[in-house]
């Protein structure tokens, strides 16, 4: 499982930036280089920055983009006697009032402190930490914020089907609308009582490409719930509508739609967020058959509703091994 330390390392401020801030603070009696690492899919927007003691030697950036970092300086007051630096910066995370608060204390006498806290209605989406390094005179304070969902559990072994381009569970090949076992797609015949008289002769999905991992159980920003495995065809489909379940290639009249696996996971899929290492984007929801499919290869894909998949605008981002 990915750790907070792993995520923070991906966005660590460069040594050049930190060195520049350090030179600005060279003549201060007490100082701190403050590093803020944003390991979330949201932009951190600075709401305010204040000092109880001291002042900024280099101002914090107005904003820190997703998976970006910033470094700034805090110093004791010029001409002050036996003073340190104590500061606070607050960043907004969304329009609902969720905020990251970071603070530091580098006293003239006593121990150093670094604190980080997320407050507001969506605070449970995030995890943060603060640490302070160095001696009593010149210190480095590092803060990082990430998303709990990025650290949560995942189910591996999901694969793209090389035939229909849908995402399916690779340990159970299911049925593929692009793989017709008898060489042609047979007509579907339904009896007077509504029973299916000839099940379409679809073959199994054919695994291709990366081994993908789907997150479940932990909500977060830009993460959509309602994604389930179909017990019939084994594809991942959107189960968020009560009265619509798409079209499943292994269906039984009078219910042509997908059927969610009883007791299966409710997957929370990230969408419209920056691509990180070991991730693949361009997965889309087909608003005809309701599966998740790989958009770049759709030119020769197959939709269970006929023809090619039709993409919804959300761009889903999946982890891979």
Say whether the peptide bond before residue 152 is cis (omega within 30 degrees of 0).
no
Q: How confident is the model at residue 5 (pLDDT cuts 50, 70, 90)?
A: low
Q: Is the dihedral of CA 171, 175, 178, 181 positive or negative?
A: positive
Write the DSSP string, 112-155.
-EEEEEEESTTGGGEEEEEEEEE-SSEEEEEEEEEEGGGGS-EE
Rounded distance between C-alpha atoms, residue 200 and residue 185, angstroms:
7
Query: What pairs with residue 8 in β-bridges?
Result: none
Rounded distance between C-alpha atoms, residue 19 and residue 105, angstroms:
21
Segment 144-175, tens digit of pLDDT: 999 999 989 999 999 999 999 999 999 998 99
**194 or 297: whose pLDDT is higher?**
297
What number is the average pLDDT over the span 92-112?
92
Closest CA to 90 of 120, 112, 67: 120
Decide if pLDDT at 2 tops 60. no
Both structure tokens of 203: 């073959």
What number is the average pLDDT over the span 85-100?
96
Determine what percent of the chain is predicted with pLDDT higher than 70: 81
Which residue in this structure is represented by tokens 């719930």? Answer: 225
HSE, CB side, 13 Å, CA atoms: give it for residue 91: 29
What number is the average pLDDT over the span 288-299?
96
E strands in 216-259? 223-229, 236-238
Rounded distance between C-alpha atoms, residue 141 and residue 25, angstroms:
14
Which residue in this structure is represented by tokens 């399916």? Answer: 168
Determine what percent of the chain is predicted with pLDDT higher than 90: 64
Decide if pLDDT at 305 tops 50. yes
What number is the average pLDDT over the span 261-288?
95
Least confident of 21-35, 49-63, 168-182: 21-35
User: Which pLDDT score, from 0 to 100, does residue 192 have?
Assistant: 63
Q: Mean of the per-residue pLDDT values for the chain? A: 86
Decide if pLDDT at 53 tops 80. yes
Sheet holding 44-53, edge to edge: 63-64, 44-53, 85-92, 99-106, 113-119
Measured between alpha carbons, how far is residue 81 from residues 78, 86, 116, 173, 186 in Å? 9, 15, 28, 73, 89
Rounded distance between C-alpha atoms, residue 42 and residue 33, angstroms:
24
Least confident of 33-37, 61-65, 138-142: 138-142
Both structure tokens of 7: 């995520």
Residue 36 CB coordination number (10 Å) = 27
Segment 113-133, tens digit of pLDDT: 999 999 999 999 999 999 988
What number is the average pLDDT over the span 241-247?
92
Residues in the chain: 321
Decide if pLDDT at 243 tops 60. yes
User: Which pLDDT score, from 0 to 100, does residue 10 have?
Assistant: 55
User: Which pLDDT score, from 0 to 100, does residue 202 have?
Assistant: 78
User: Which pLDDT score, from 0 to 100, does residue 32 have?
Assistant: 86
User: Which pLDDT score, from 0 to 100, does residue 28 have?
Assistant: 59
DSSP summary character for residue 77? P
User: Which pLDDT score, from 0 to 100, does residue 9 have?
Assistant: 58
When computed from its CA atoms, the radius of gyration of the chain, rounded to whole angstroms, is: 26
User: Which pLDDT score, from 0 to 100, does residue 249 have?
Assistant: 86
**10 or 305: whose pLDDT is higher?**
305
């Amino acid at each position: 499982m990915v750790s907070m330390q792993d995520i923070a390392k991906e966005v660590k401020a460069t040594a050049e930036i930190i060195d520049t801030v350090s030179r600005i603070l060279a003549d201060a009696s007490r100082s701190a280089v403050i590093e803020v690492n944003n390991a979330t899919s949201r932009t951190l927007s600075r709401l305010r920055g204040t000092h109880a003691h001291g002042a900024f030697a280099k101002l914090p950036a107005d904003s820190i983009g997703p998976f970006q970092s910033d470094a700034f300086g805090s110093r004791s007051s010029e001409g002050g006697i036996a003073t340190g630096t104590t500061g606070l910066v607050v960043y907004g995370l969304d329009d609902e009032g969720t905020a990251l608060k970071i603070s530091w204390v580098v006293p003239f006498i006593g121990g150093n402190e670094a604190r980080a806290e997320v407050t507001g209605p969506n605070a449970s989406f995030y995890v943060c930490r603060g640490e302070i390094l160095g001696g009593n005179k010149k210190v480095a304070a590092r803060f990082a914020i990430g998303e709990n969902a990025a650290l949560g559990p995942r189910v591996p072994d999901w694969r793209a089907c090389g035939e229909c381009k849908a995402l399916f569970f690779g340990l159970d090949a299911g049925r593929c609308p692009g793989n017709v076992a008898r060489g042609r797609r047979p007509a579907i015949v339904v009896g007077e009582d509504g029973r299916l008289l000839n099940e379409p002769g679809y073959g199994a999905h054919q695994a291709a490409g990366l081994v993908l991992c789907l997150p479940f159980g932990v909500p977060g920003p830009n993460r959509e719930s309602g994604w389930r495995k179909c017990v019939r065809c084994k594809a991942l489909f959107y189960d968020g509508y009560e009265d619509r379940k798409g079209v499943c290639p292994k269906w039984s009249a009078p219910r042509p739609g997908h059927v969610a696996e009883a007791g299966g996971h409710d997957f929370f899929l990230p969408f419209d967020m920056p691509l990180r290492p070991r991730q693949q984007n361009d997965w889309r929801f087909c608003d005809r058959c309701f599966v998740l499919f790989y958009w770049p290869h759709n030119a020769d894909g197959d939709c269970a509703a006929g023809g090619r998949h039709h993409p919804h605008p959300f761009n889903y981002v999946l982890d891979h091994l």
